[in-house]
Every structure is written in structure tokens, then in C-alpha cells.
């Protein structure tokens, strides 16, 4: 089947004929001169690229028609994928009672309602979910209900369903009925847990949760919290040492707990927060370390000096990270009082030095993984 681009060329240039030689299509004129198919035609003459004079030039990275056709096929496939928006399955409910009960249960579980309809022949109700699947089977019928709802907290859903069934205003099931119609949560042979509820004759629903914690999650590059084999630098300000020393101890604790050797940690002390960006930039440009951890503290006081210093420190650390490509963890506290700073240095609100080091470890791992992907061409 000809591609739209090939048909367009045939229409615009009726004097040219499409020929196939050895599985490759060529465009030839009445003199049988074979010229590979491509684009960038201008004023009826083929452009020359200086090397293949007389031949038509292909887009960058393509040397023949086969590459060009493959690119068009990939483009067509991408277009088809982007056209798929969602999937809807229509389930017929035999009775009005079953219809009402199913709708009531789905509302109790928090389903988003879509646009329903009603006419002389019947009624319809739509319930939307973030993810929809259509599963086709042949041969042996599966032992599960035809209507399956995947959830993330199966035990909590089970409690909601049971409470809904016991409520006279919603499910209105007797206690002895629930024992029969609501099965207990049980493991399946397909790596999940499942329970079913029989709402009405011919209307059974299954709720299930995968035992694989990564099931259904989007594929993403995430960092590992392992500092083994990596070198880190810590730039810490001496000013307000009663705070910064606590931050430093927290950062060292995080690195050692994550497997970083003592010799792989380089500590640089600077006079104050203002000098942190300069030292961090020097360390990052050396490419000796996988990440830089910046630690300091700024107290507001009674002057505008605080805001001017903080703005430039934050900007300098950010620029150093962006321009060198080495991750920088921001552990510079900005507090109103000394008491607030002490709280953030380990007394009440956790140790921000520890948190900054953990962020640096994760970002170093992410950078490593992204670099491996780039080298692999994936």
C-alpha cells in the first residue's frame, strides 16, 4: 500500500514513474533515469548536496529511500498511538434492582460518574476510572467475574463494600446473606489477592490488588539510596557553628549509613553562607565528586542584609548545579530565630543536613543512570 507521501508525489509530478528495484522504490523519468525518492524538490530540479550531484537529497540521517519510508511508518504508528484516548466496556444489568445496587456501590467507592442516559427503552450510567483494560479470552472461561475492578488498598475496599451491604439505606443485605454473597479476600494463582461480591442474579463483581508493588506504575528512572563507591563533597559554613556542626553531623550520618566510605567524603569549611556557592562551584568543576552538599544557616535579624545574602546564595548554588551538571543538595537554613534553626538541625523538625545528604545520594544515582541510558542510545 502506497504511503500518502508517495501518492502526493505522483499527483504533483505526473511525468515521473515509481519503480521498484530489488525491494526499493525509485522515482524515474521517461528517460529511465533512476533517482531515489525524497523531498526538498525546488523549481523542478533536484538539489545537489555537493557529493551526490544529480541525486535528490534526503533528510538528515537518511541515506536512501528505505530509511525514509521507515521514518514515515514510525510517524504513522506514533499518530495511531496518540489517537487512542480510552476504552469503554458496556455491561448489561438484567434487573432494575441490580442496576441501582451497582450504581450505589460504585458511588460509595468513589468512582467518578460520567454522563448517563435514559429513554423509553432503558437507562444507562457511566463510571470513570483512571485506567481501563479490555481482556479477550478463548477456550476455557476464567474463574473470575467478567467485571473486575483493580484497587490499591484491597482490605480497605473490602470494609467499604461490607459496610455498604449492611447499610439498610444502600445495600440492605441481611447478615446471613453477606456470608454467602461476599467472599473473603484470598490469594490467586496470578500473583494477586481477590474478593467477589454477588449483588444480584447474574451480577457478580471482583475487586483485586496486585501483590507486585510496581504493577501499574509508570516506568520511571529513580535513584537508589546507595552511596557506595561514590565520592561526595560537603561545603559547610563556620558562621553559626552551633547549627552548622549539627547539620554536618547529620549529613555525615546519612552518607555513612548509605555505604559511603570515609575517604570518599571531602569536607570544605567556608567563613559563611555567602562563600558557599564559590567553593561548591570549584568542587563541581573538578568533576571529582558525584554531588555537592551545601550546609549553612541564615538568621533574619533586624536588617535587610538577610534577604540580600539568601537570594545570592540560592542563585549561586543553583547556577553552579545547572552549569556544571553536578547535583547540588541545598541544606542552607533560612530562619527567623536561633530557636527555629536549632529545631531544624535535629532537635524537633529533623536534621536538614541529613535530608540534604539523602537528596544528594539519590540525585547522584539518577545522574549515573541517565548517563548510562545516553551512552546506550536508549
The residues that are catalytic are 305
The phi, psi pair for 363, rounded to 5°, reads -65, -35
| C-alpha to C-alpha distances, 233 to 87, 259, 280, 290, 298, nearest whole angstrom | 51, 15, 8, 8, 21
Question: All 3 cell numbers of residue 87?
Answer: 476504552
Residue 43 to residue 298: CA distance in whole angstroms: 68
| CB-CB contact of 276 with 294 (8 Å) | yes
Contact between 27 and 36 under an 8 Å Cβ cutoff? The reply is yes
Cell of 349: 523538625
Of 96, 92, 101, 111, the closest CA to residue 182 belongs to 101
**Helix residue ranges per DSSP H, the chain:** 4-12, 65-83, 96-108, 154-166, 175-181, 241-257, 276-286, 305-324, 338-344, 352-376
Greatest Cα-to-Cα distance within the chain, rounded to the nearest angstrom: 90
Amino acid at each position: 500500500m502506497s504511503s500518502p507521501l508517495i501518492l502526493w508525489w505522483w499527483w504533483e509530478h505526473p511525468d515521473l514513474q515509481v519503480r521498484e528495484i530489488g525491494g526499493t522504490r525509485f522515482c524515474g523519468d521517461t528517460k529511465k533515469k533512476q533517482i531515489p525518492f525524497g523531498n526538498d524538490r525546488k523549481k523542478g530540479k533536484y538539489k545537489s548536496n555537493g557529493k551526490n550531484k544529480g541525486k535528490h537529497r534526503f533528510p538528515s540521517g537518511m541515506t536512501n529511500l528505505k530509511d525514509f519510508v521507515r521514518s514515515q511508518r514510525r510517524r504513522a504508528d506514533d499518530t495511531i498511538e496518540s489517537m487512542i484516548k480510552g476504552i469503554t466496556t458496556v455491561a448489561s444489568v438484567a434487573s432494575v434492582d441490580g442496576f441501582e445496587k451497582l450504581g450505589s456501590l460504585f458511588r460509595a467507592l468513589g468512582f467518578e460518574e460520567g454522563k448517563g442516559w435514559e429513554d423509553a427503552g432503558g437507562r444507562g450510567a457511566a463510571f470513570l476510572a483512571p485506567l481501563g483494560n479490555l481482556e479477550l479470552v478463548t477456550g476455557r472461561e476464567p474463574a473470575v467475574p467478567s467485571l473486575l475492578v483493580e484497587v490499591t488498598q484491597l482490605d480497605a475496599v473490602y470494609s467499604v463494600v461490607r459496610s455498604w451491604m449492611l447499610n439498610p439505606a444502600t445495600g440492605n443485605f441481611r447478615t446471613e446473606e453477606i456470608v454467602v454473597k461476599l467472599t473473603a479476600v484470598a490469594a490467586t494463582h496470578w500473583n494477586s489477592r481477590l474478593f467477589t461480591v454477588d449483588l444480584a442474579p447474574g451480577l457478580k463483581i471482583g475487586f483485586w490488588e496486585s501483590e507486585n508493588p510496581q504493577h501499574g506504575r509508570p516506568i520511571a528512572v529513580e535513584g537508589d539510596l546507595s552511596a557506595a563507591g561514590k565520592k561526595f563533597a560537603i561545603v559547610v559554613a563556620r558562621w553559626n557553628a552551633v547549627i552548622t556542626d549539627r547539620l554536618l553531623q547529620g549529613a555525615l550520618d546519612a552518607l555513612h549509613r548509605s555505604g559511603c566510605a570515609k575517604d570518599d567524603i571531602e569536607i570544605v569549611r567556608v567563613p559563611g553562607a555567602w562563600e558557599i556557592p564559590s567553593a561548591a562551584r570549584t568542587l563541581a568543576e573538578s568533576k571529582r565528586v558525584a554531588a555537592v552538599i551545601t550546609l549553612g544557616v541564615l538568621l533574619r535579624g533586624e536588617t535587610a542584609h538577610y534577604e540580600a545574602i539568601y537570594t545570592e546564595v540560592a542563585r549561586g548554588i543553583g547556577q553552579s548545579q545547572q552549569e556544571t551538571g553536578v547535583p547540588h543538595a541545598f541544606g542552607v537554613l533560612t530562619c527567623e530565630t536561633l530557636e527555629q534553626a536549632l529545631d531544624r538541625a535535629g532537635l524537633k523538625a529533623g536534621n536538614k543536613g541529613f535530608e540534604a545528604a539523602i537528596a544528594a545520594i539519590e540525585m547522584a544515582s539518577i545522574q549515573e543512570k541517565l548517563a548510562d541510558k545516553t551512552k546506550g542510545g536508549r
